[in-house]
Amino acid sequence: MYGPPVDLSFKNLSTVTGAMAEIPRSGVRPLASSSSGKYHSRVVRLSNNSISDLTGISFLLGHLLSRPSQLGWLDLSFNKLERIDPVLCGMRELRVLYLHGNSIWNLSEVDKLGQLPYLHTITLHGNAIETTKGYRCHVIAVLPHLKTMDFSAVTKEERVLSKIKFTGVMCHARH
């Protein structure tokens, strides 16, 4: 059984590894840990910090979680990330990824996440890429399993339009 999120939000962190010295925020349900002190959780929150890159995130997850390969939800919102680190592509069980409120400016960065077979929810609003023409359509096209983007359901029409775009026809941007 998996417990509540390991919440390291609002810790004034400038690096991912800085989280190792922090005690997770307590929530409604207490965090359960193994005999080795690792948490039984599939969710890690690192939001509302000043993290600019993900150096050491695999090490941090191994330090925090009893089963780091089972990470299903990662919240990196409201940080200072400018790109999508390839390390995220190794998180094969990732289903939910929050990246809103960062500084990602190149829309093609999202393409890297197409390798994640279970990713169904992503947030990217509040990044510079949001102003790119065809932003939503592009993300839906490169992440075919998406059900929700930027807290809005992905419609059948959007799926069709995103497929058309990638066969040479331009689709409209929906915000």
Q: Is the pLDDT of residue 129 over 50?
A: yes
Class of domain 6-133+147-153: alpha beta
Average pLDDT of the chain to the nearest whole number: 92
150, 121 contact by CB (below 8 A): no
137, 149 contact by CB (below 8 A): no
Q: Is the pLDDT of residue 173 over 60?
A: no
Predicted confidence at residue 167, as pLDDT, reads: 62
Percent of the chain with pLDDT over 90: 82
Burial class, 7, CB count within 10 angstroms (exposed 0-12 / middle 13-18 / buried 19+)? buried
Listed by start position, the domains of the chain span 6-133+147-153
Average of per-residue pLDDT across 120-125: 98
Task: Tell me how far apart the alpha carbons of residues 123 and 20 are, in angstroms, rounded to a whole number.
Answer: 25
* Model confidence pLDDT, tens digit, residues 103-118: 999 999 999 999 999 9
| Confidence grade of residue 169 (pLDDT, cut at 50, 70, 90) | very low
Q: Which residue did the predictor score with more confidence, 149 or 30? A: 149
